[in-house]
Amino acid sequence: MTEHTLTVAGVAVDTRHWIGGERVASTETFTDVSPIDGSVLGEISRGTAMEAAAAVAAAKAAFPAWAATPRAERARILHAVADGVEKRLEELAIVETTDNGALLRSHRRGVMPRVAHNFRFFADWLLKLEHEDFETRGHTNHVSWDPAGPCVLITPWNAPLMLATWKVAPALAAGNTVILKPAEWTPLTASLLADIAAEAGLPAGVLNVVQGYGSEIGDALTSHPDVRRISFTGSVPTAKRIAASAAVNLTPLSLELGGKSPLLVFADADLDLAVDLAVEQYDNAGQVCLAATRFLVQESVAEEFTRRFVAKAGQLTQGDPRDEATDIGPNIHLRQLEKIDGFVQRAIAAGARAVIGGHRKDGQYYAPTLLTDVAQDSEIVQEEVFGPVLTLQTFSDEDEAVRLANDTRFGLAATVATGDPERAERVTAQLVAGTVWVNCFFVRDLQAPFGGSRQSGVGREGGTWSFDFYCDVKNTVTAPNGWRNHG
């Protein structure tokens, strides 16, 4: 091992940036801490405007050759990256669990396989990406997707590698080069991805990984004139800063932001199913942007729903995420834990009642919480907590349910539990959300559009929508019989 390598559960991770196919160290570092027990994992290179400029320059230099690489060859390399992910799946799983505190069993069985799938899906989608030619007064229109250039991808800490590759894979498939900036609280698997991509044959400079704080390196990336696309997943305040920075160069943005999504439970719903869906919202210690954190339950079944929910939630096991029996792990950071508790204590002081939870536990763990007696205009109902904290309100009829569901500044997702297909059709048509689930939750297909409405985001990614964003979409119009005879 070297001074720039740390070991996590036996896995060696390089702590330096990956720029232009080489490891680059910074003079300053930041400390990476595991949320499981607060242990220090290591010191990570802390990038500045200098590393940002170097990464963009490397991406710009590598762009012409990668953009000119035939689709089939780009797809082959992306499949090779997926092979590398699958080969190192166990290593990626344990490193990410240690770094962000999410369940090891979830990383093994769902998250890391999805990382590989991200690369395979967009590689395959690239090969079938086309738009049928069409005629206009005898002229032929041909639509094509041209690579845009260097892309800055800024990713969150709640599902670091999966959400990073959800952006990296289509950007690379489209023929762009990438500067990936992972969240400073969870930088480790992005570093491993750089190794995997290099081993798979991705040319130097096509993927660059830079680490550090948004205020020190993020601003330098998002304001750089050579950056052609910016994709960000995270908070609304940060998105506003990124948008202001990108506006200087009119750099196109894709923003997937926060949510305050509702779960609507109607009296005709299968209550056991509705309760299962409700308890699922504690997944990843509530650190899921799509989580339906606001339960809206029809008055006639609210008492029974609550009783069953409390019983079901009481069966959850909270503890070390490396244990197969654990259902809820820690929250990411002491700062986040304090934020969560602040929301809850202010809500209780304002009159809310904690049916379950409502308090911190040892370390970075927060008790799964359900609050009732909350007002629609209260902070706890209107603002994203991003922890294992849910609220419950009641409604009398469909109109009130829809009104309450739409009455926030967000519009990321919504979940509806009902036994009436006609009601489901009526209600979903009125909900303001980028994704609506009916009698299910978190069913995601990469060919579907994904994004939020209102302050939950700008734009859509997934399938062809991803290529629409990461490319310059061109229409070429050719006149009929306009060719000169060069014979």
Is 151 assigned a catalytic role? no
Q: Alpha-carbon dihedral of residues 132, 133, 134, 137, nearest 10 degrees?
A: 180
Of the listed 289, 384, 461, 471, which one is catalytic? 289
Centroid of chain to Cα 24: 27
SS (H, E, C) the chain: CCCCEEEECCEEEECCEEECCEEECCCCEEEEECCCCCCEEEEEECCCHHHHHHHHHHHHHHHHHHHHCCHHHHHHHHHHHHHHHHHCHHHHHHHHHHHHCCCHHHHHHHHHHHHHHHHHHHHHHHHHCCCCCEEECCEEEEEEEEECCCEEEECCCCCHHHHHHHHHHHHHHCCCCEEEECCCCCCHHHHHHHHHHHHCCCCCCCEEECCCCHHHHHHHHHCCCCCCEEEEECCHHHHHHHHHHHHCCCCCEEEECCCCCEEEECCCCCHHHHHHHHHHHHHHHHCCCCCCCEEEEEHHHHHHHHHHHHHHHCCCCECCCCCCCCCECCCCCHHHHHHHHHHHHHHHHCCCEEEECCCECCCCCECCEEEECCCCCCHHHHCCCCCCEEEEEEECCHHHHHHHHHCCCCCCEEEEECCCHHHHHHHHHHCCCCEEEECCCCCCCCCCCECCCHHHEECCECHHHHHHHHEEEEEEEECCCCCCCCC
Whether 440 sits among the annotated catalytic residues: the reply is: no
Catalytic annotation, pick one of 256, 384, 461, 471: 256
Distance CA 457, CA 440 (A): 23
- How far is residue 329's CA from residue 34's CA, in Å, rounded to a whole number? 12
Q: Which residues are catalytic?
A: 256, 289
